[in-house]
Amino acid sequence: MAFDITSVWRQRGPGALLLWPLSCLFGALSSLRRLGYRHNWWSSTRLHRPVLVVGNRIVGGAGKTPTTIAILQHLQAQGWHPGVLTRGYKAEASRHPRPLLLNAQSQAQLTAQDTGDEPLLIWRRTHVPVMIDPQRARSGQALLKQHPEIDILICDDGLQHLALQRDIEVIVYDERGQGNGWLLPAGPMREPLGTSPPPGLLAAPIVLYNADRPSTPLPGYCAKRSTGPLKSLQAWWQGQPAEHDAPPPPAPQQQGSEPVWALAGIAQPDRFFAQLEALGWRIHGLPLPDHADLSELPWPQDVAHVFVTEKDAVKLSPEQVRRQRPLTQVWVVSLNFQPEPAFWTALDQALNRLPRPAHLTH
């Protein structure tokens, strides 16, 4: 049986206690690093556009990507022209010496293997230019050179990337809160809950809980998650509305009938399965590691229907499914992520402290 470190992180038990000395070392190095940036021992870059960072202090998928997408759509609705900076976890681009641009001109030639699954999903949901590069400052400079119309940069998963200065921080937590409260590797925290914000912020960091209620002592706002209409993989890639799609899969399963398969290569697959079960489906869950490679499809040949997340859908092509699993219809389940109105009020108050672009002042 594989060792599950996440079970150690739930409480301060024997396993966590054995790792605690390493956590002390990690914490000391992390504090020294932040102190170095605060006192300019290490250089940091301020770009000539405002930077809004979306990140988390706990390891794993706390909801950064849905938060980033929601913020981008909010900015677009207000008339901003945002761009995205992202590391592109597991992307081929992150191993290249130059930043990789994902935009309207390049998207047809790029796959999730090139960009990483989350950057491609952000692009598909927002059509905002995305620059993929572990060095966010270099990435921002390259993106602004290619897209000078951008008036605000959203840094996805950049909370600990102090080499890039920022104006606004949005910190995301989910139901796990801070776990056992200890730093890596004895606990799930990248840095302490009460870490002081970096200098230069225009407002206090905004905390968003991807949960029904706050899961830490920090004051913040909550977001609701719900599932959108099912779309076939073909219709999802073509951007077709659900009403113009193929016939839907069978109705939610009745007691005693066969379950429907569901695949999730995300940080918390059980969350996806629970959402489907709440809608009445009986689910045969197929949990995979976060950012799992789907070059070989993992379900049996005779499965009729498989539900997948959008994060997994970007790694699946209809042609691949027809070639490897011709008897299977893949259905994409979109996520509707809605922060409470007070979150948008707090974010807008921070945005109002930024210099307003000319096209937003009229």
Residues 329 and 351 in one domain: no
Residues 331 and 343 in one domain: no
In a domain, 68, yes or no: yes
Tokens of 246: 């193929």
Nearest to residue 93, comparing CAs of 67, 72, 117? 117
| Domain CATH number, residue 349 | 3.40.50
**What range defines the domain where residue 232 resides?**
226-335
Q: Residue 13: its pLDDT value, please?
A: 93
Q: What is the H or E stretch that residue 25 is in?
A: helix 14-38
Residues 269 and 257 in one domain: yes
Residues 218 and 348 in one domain: yes
Residues 201 and 256 in one domain: no
What phi and psi, each to the nearest 5 degrees, are found at residue 304? -85, -40
Residues 87 and 121 in one domain: yes
Residues 205 and 253 in one domain: no
Tell whether the model's pLDDT for residue 362 goes beyond 60.
no
Confidence grade of residue 245 (pLDDT, cut at 50, 70, 90):
confident
Residues 54 and 151 in one domain: yes
Residues 232 and 211 in one domain: no
CA distances from 11 to 21, 181, 216, 270, 308 (A): 16, 8, 15, 20, 31
Residues 256 and 203 in one domain: no
In a domain, 240, yes or no: yes
CB neighbour burial string for 6-41, b if at least 16 within 10 angstroms, e if fewer? eebbeebeeebeebeeebeebbeebeeebeebeeee
Number of domains in the chain: 2
Amino acid residing at 116? G
In a domain, 121, yes or no: yes
279 close to 227: Cβ distance less than 8 angstroms: yes
pLDDT tens, residue by residue, 85-137 = 999 876 665 566 789 999 999 999 999 999 999 999 999 999 999 999 999 99
Q: Residue 1: its pLDDT value, please?
A: 43
Confidence grade of residue 359 (pLDDT, cut at 50, 70, 90):
confident
Residues in the chain: 362
Q: Residue 94: its pLDDT value, please?
A: 56
Tell whether the model's pLDDT for residue 334 goes beyond 50.
yes
In a domain, 38, yes or no: no
In a domain, 12, yes or no: no
CB < 8 Å & 24+ apart, contacts of 246-255? 246/329, 249/305, 249/329, 249/331, 250/305, 252/279, 252/280, 252/281, 252/282, 253/280, 253/281, 253/282
Residues 266 and 191 in one domain: no
In a domain, 14, yes or no: no
- Laid out side by side, the sheet with 130-132 consists of 100-102, 130-132, 82-86, 152-156, 51-55, 168-174, 206-210, 221-232, 329-339, 305-309, 260-264, 283-287
Burial of 88 by CB count in 10 Å (0-12 exposed, 13-18 middle, 19+ buried)?
buried
Q: Residue 89: its pLDDT value, please?
A: 73
Residues 119 and 259 in one domain: no
Q: Residue 54: its pLDDT value, please?
A: 97
What percent of the chain clears pLDDT 70, i.e. is strictly above it? 95
Of residues 279 and 309, more confidence is placed in 309
pLDDT tens, residue by residue, 160-207 = 999 999 999 999 999 999 999 999 999 999 999 999 999 999 999 999
Q: Residue 243: its pLDDT value, please?
A: 73
In terms of DSSP bridges, do strands 100-102 and 130-132 run parallel, antiparallel, or are they unpaired? antiparallel
Q: Residue 93: its pLDDT value, please?
A: 52
Determine the distance from the C-alpha atom of residue 51 to the mean position of all C-alpha atoms in its chain, rounded to a whole number: 17
Tell whether the model's pLDDT for residue 253 goes beyond 80.
no
Nearest to residue 45, comparing CAs of 114, 128, 123, 136? 136
Cβ–Cβ contacts within 10 Å for residue 231, how many?
A: 25
In a domain, 298, yes or no: yes
Amino acid residing at 72? L
